[in-house]
Amino acid sequence: MRVFRTLFLSMLAASALPTAVLAVVLVQDRGGLGAAPAAAVLGSAALSAILSAFVARRFTEPIRASVQGALEIARGRFGRQLAVRSRDELGDLAHAFNHMSRELAGYDAENRRLVAALERGYLDTIRSLASAIDAKDPYTRGHSQRVAELAVEIGRELGLGPQALLALEYGGVLHDVGKIGIPDHVLAKPVPLTAEEMALMREHPRIGAEIVGGVAFLREALPAIRCHHERWDGAGYPDRLAGGDIPLAARIVNAADTWDACTSDRPYQAALAPGAAAGVLAELRGAQLDPAVHDALLAVLRRRGALPPAGSAESAA
């Protein structure tokens, strides 16, 4: 707008100057202006103002559009095109801007494709690692992937955003990665563990956090890996966190892990039916499990059809 004002005033001054000089000469020569000369002077001044505004607008509009387009690009909205209304230098400016905008849009699309491919590669690598973990214990094959899928559904039920859901997926897949450091005979022991073996088993969240701690893209998944055995009442491990001090991702993975453990065959326990497993979770609500996360888990399981709808006779039974 400042360029328009400056250009308009400059052109108006330049175009109106001859008329002003003529008016001064007539006044000096005749002692005043008649009606017709005065009308001519005013008409000339008005025409000068109109033409000056038109020319100033013609020059400044492409500049204004280019500035607005540059701001759009700076905000990450690539691909904007300007209308090319002339074949002069202003038209060349619009052509150059449009070419730049198209190129940036192409680069942005390619970068997004590469990032998506990289993330898929990350996830495939993580799943391979989880499969290696599950392979150590045939009773838990597929456990990590099931926990990850259920954790993401619980996160959606709680209204979490895309980044939090991605952290849940990574954390769910890798929540037991620390079991790599646990001897096989302890993992697959068909009877209850001794106190020493239980202490060793309880090291796996800390070991897992140490394994992935140096991986930048897994940083947001670390709380789920380290804290998924913390309990709402503070009696969990390894840090004995309680309530809201436990990261939400860990509370969600804990609930998903507990459900899958209850409904899967283990060396020391046959799989429970969904109704019986829901009864176990009800007893753990407010003790091991965050009540809000527990309720979101039940909503997901009902939506999946694993449990009857809330309020039904079967559910009440």
Same domain, 176 and 47: no
The SS3 of residue 235 is: coil
How far, in Å, are 19, 57, 66, 142, 293 from residue 44 at the CA level?
7, 20, 34, 87, 79
* Domain CATH code at residue 296: 1.10.3210.10
> What string of H, E and C letters represents the secondary structure of 27-65?
HHHHCCCCHHHHHHHHHHHHHHHHHHHHHHHHHHHHHHH
Domain hosting residue 17, numbered range: 2-77
Q: Is the pLDDT of residue 265 over 60?
A: yes
Q: How many separate domains does the chain show?
A: 2
Whether 109 is in a domain gets the answer no
Mean pLDDT for 155-171 is 95
Among 54, 77, 100, the domain boundary falls at 77
Task: With respect to residue 84, please indicate whether it lies within any of the assigned structural domains.
Answer: no
Task: Note whether residue 119 is domain-resident.
Answer: no
User: 203 with 63, same domain?
Assistant: no
Q: Report the C-alpha gap between 168 and 146 in whole angstroms.
A: 12
Task: Assess whether 68 and 152 both reside in one domain.
Answer: no
Which run of H or E residues covers position 103? helix 89-135
Q: For the chain, what percent of residues have pLDDT higher than 70?
A: 71
Let me know if residue 59 belongs to a domain: yes
Locate 214 and state its tokens: 């140096």
At residue 144's C-alpha, the angle toward residues 229 and 278, to 5°, is 65
- At 35-69, the pLDDT tens digits run 666 666 666 666 666 766 666 666 666 666 666 77
pLDDT value of residue 308: 87
Q: Is 129 contained in some domain?
A: no
Query: 69 with 159, same domain?
Result: no
β-partners of residue 289 are 285
* pLDDT tens figures, 238-254: 999 999 999 999 999 99
Do 171 and 301 fall into the same domain? Answer: yes
Between residues 276 and 15, the one the model is more confident about: 276
Tens of pLDDT along 165-219?
A: 999 999 998 998 888 888 888 877 878 889 999 999 999 999 999 988 888 778 8
> Is there a domain that residue 306 lies in?
yes
pLDDT tens, residue by residue, 91-116: 777 777 777 778 888 888 888 888 88
| Distance of alpha carbon 6 from alpha carbon 12, whole angstroms | 10
Within this chain, do residues 68 and 196 fall inside the same structural domain, yes or no? no
- Low-confidence winner among 2-11, 78-87, 98-107, 306-315 (lowest mean pLDDT): 2-11
Whether residues 63 and 205 fall in one domain: no
Q: Does the model's pTM come out above 0.85?
A: no
* CA–CA distance, 225 with 178 (Å, rounded to integer): 9
Shared-domain flag, residues 65 and 149: no
Residues 71, 45 contacting (CB under 8 angstroms): no
